[in-house]
């Protein structure tokens, strides 16, 4: 268990932190920035990140994180070989990733880097003409993915920090929408904190 000491007058008090102080819950909101591709125009969109992070020690050490990140972008298709027949639509890309990183603190500031492999999931709609009319089917493509980021933290309190989190995502597949958009950047701002 980690602990810290504080003084009041001439008395010294030590507070012992339990295991719950090692679990952090980062969350952030920002902009998803797809790389340019000749087959489609994918607009900048919304990026939402949620995670659970385990720190064996408070700071200046390796940490472990599981993320669920959601990127949503509207697209306009120019070629017939994209995997949908909807010319203007929405592409949702979800990432379920796990990895390890390292964090270093400089006064009230923290700097970290992390690399996370996992699963990337593209979701989009395709129109099907039926005798009863047009039906929209939801299509998904699952692929191996990788996320890397370097984040900056500002500690407002010991277990509460504001975070600026630029990230790069890569999907490793040449099928479906991955042929058109397999790399995304994201710029997010959020917080990280423990439950207690």
Residues 113-172 have pLDDT tens digits of: 999 999 999 888 888 888 988 888 888 888 999 999 999 999 999 999 999 999 999 988
Sequence-distant (≥ 6) Cβ neighbours of residue 73 within 8 angstroms: 32, 34, 42, 43, 44, 45, 90, 91, 93, 181
* Confidence label for 1 from pLDDT (cuts 50, 70 and 90): very low
Handedness of CA 160, 93, 88, 133 (dihedral sign): negative
pLDDT at 39: 59
pLDDT one-digit tens code per residue, 48-87: 999 999 999 999 999 999 999 999 988 777 666 667 788 7
Residue 188 DSSP symbol: E
Note whether residue 109 is domain-resident. Answer: yes
Structural domain range at position 29: 20-193
Q: How many domains does the chain have?
A: 1
Instruction: Using CA atoms of 179, 75, 72, 28 in order, give the dihedral in degrees to the nearest 10.
Output: 100
The rounded distance, in Å, linking the Cα atoms of 1 and 89 is 51
Instruction: For residue 92, give the CATH number of its domain.
Output: 2.40.160.20
* Claim: this prediction has a pTM higher than 0.85: no
89 vs 19: CA distance, rounded Å? 46
Alpha-carbon distance values, 130 to 79, 88, 89, 175 (Å): 24, 21, 20, 26
Q: How many CB atoms lie within 10 A of CB 57?
A: 11
């Amino acid at each position: 268990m980690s602990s810290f000491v504080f003084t009041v007058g001439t008395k010294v008090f030590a507070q012992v932190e339990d295991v719950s102080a090692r679990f952090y819950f980062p969350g952030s909101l920002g902009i998803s920035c797809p790389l340019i591709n000749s087959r489609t125009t994918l607009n900048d969109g919304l990026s939402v990140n949620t995670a659970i992070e385990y720190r064996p020690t408070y700071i200046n050490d390796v940490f472990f994180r599981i993320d669920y990140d959601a990127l949503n972008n509207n697209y306009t298709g120019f070629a017939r070989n994209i995997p949908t027949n909807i010319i203007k639509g929405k592409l949702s890309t979800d990432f379920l990733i796990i990895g390890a990183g390292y964090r270093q603190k400089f006064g009230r500031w923290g700097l970290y880097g992390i690399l996370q492999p996992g699963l990337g999931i593209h979701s989009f709609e395709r129109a099907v003409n039926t005798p009863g009319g047009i039906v929209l089917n939801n299509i998904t493509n699952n692929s191996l993915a990788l996320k890397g980021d370097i984040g900056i933290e500002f500690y407002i309190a010991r277990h509460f920090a504001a975070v600026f989190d630029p990230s790069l995502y890569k999907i490793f597949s040449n099928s479906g929408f991955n042929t058109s958009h397999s790399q995304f950047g994201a710029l997010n701002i959020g917080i990280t904190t423990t439950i207690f």
